[in-house]
Amino acid sequence: MSKDKIKSWQNDKRDNFVANIDKASIDRISSLLTVSNSYNDTKNNVNEAISVLSECLVSSAKKTFGTYVSGAPKRAKKRCPKKPWFDVNCNTKRKHFHIYVNVDLLHVKIKQA
């Protein structure tokens, strides 16, 4: 479940970020945002311009700052490692007990109302 992520912003690389922006993408965005007669054409052009802008900024950030691979999430440690009697079966029974107690309390509150 690892995913490439962009490294954090570094203010000293600001000029490199601007230089890495693709000029052809900027020209394409400006041509998409020219005035159109139809509402649907304008809506589609704006949607496409936003996606092109997003791709342009993300690619510039990847070139400038680099990427890293995020690791798998860490699993929580078992809470009771020194109690051998508290195994998976005991844990399951405990969960079911608390579910049933909460359901019974809910029914009592509903009957009283």
pLDDT of residue 76: 66
Consecutive 10-residue runs of the chain (113 residues): their mean pLDDT? 82 94 92 77 87 95 90 67 76 86 72 64
pLDDT of residue 31: 87
**Where exactly are the structural domains of the chain?**
4-69, 76-113
pLDDT of residue 80: 58
pLDDT of residue 78: 62
Name the pTM for this structure: 0.58
pLDDT of residue 96: 87
Contact in structure between 21 and 58 (CB atoms under 8 Å): no
H/E stretch holding 4: strand 4-6
